[in-house]
Chains A and B, each alone.
Chain A
Amino acid sequence: MALQKSMLVARADLKMAMKVSMVKYGLILIAAFGPVMLIATVLLIALTAPTVAAATLAMIDPLLSPMVGIIAIIPASLISANALVGEREQNTLEPLLCTPLTDRELLLGKLLSSFIPSIALLLGSILITEVSTIFILVSVGSEIVLVPGLSSLFLLLTTGPTLILAMVSVMILISGRVKRVYEAYQTSGATVMLFIIPMLLPMISMDTSGNVDMNLVWFSNFITLLIAILLAIVTWALAIGRFNRDKMVSM
Chain B
Amino acid sequence: MTDVLQPPITIAGDDQPQGHDEHHGPTGILKWMTTTDHKIIGLSYTVTSVLMLVIGGLFAEIIRFQLTAPNNSLVSLAQYNELFTMHGSVMIYLFAGPFAFGGLANIIVPIQIGAPDMAFPRLNALSYWLYLTGAITMLAGFFTAGGAANFGWVAYAPLSNSINTPGTGADLWIGGLLLTGFSAIFTGVNLTATIFYLRAPGMTMFRMPIFTWNMLVTGILILLAFPVLTAGLVMLYCDRHFGTHIFSVSGGGVPVLWQHIFWFWGHPEVYILALPFFGMATEIIPVFSRKPVFGYKGMVFATLSIAALSLGVWAHHMFTTGVVLLPFFSIMSLLIAVPTGIKIFNWIGTMWRGQIWFSTAMLMAIGFVVTFLIGGLTGIYLASPPLDFFTHDTYFVVAHFHSVVMALVLGGMGGLYYWGPKITGYLLNERLGKIQFWFLFLGTQVFTFPQYLLGLRGMPRRVPIYPHDPEWKMLNEWSTVGAVMIGISTIVFVVNVGVSWKKHPAGDNPWDGHTLEWFTTSPPPHHNFYRLPQIRSERPTWDYHHPEHRSLGHGTHADEMHSLVGDGFEGHTS
Q: Do A and B bind each other?
A: no
Using CB atoms and an 8 Å cutoff, list the residues of chain A in contact with chain B. Answer: none
Using CB atoms and an 8 Å cutoff, list the residues of chain B in contact with chain A. Answer: none
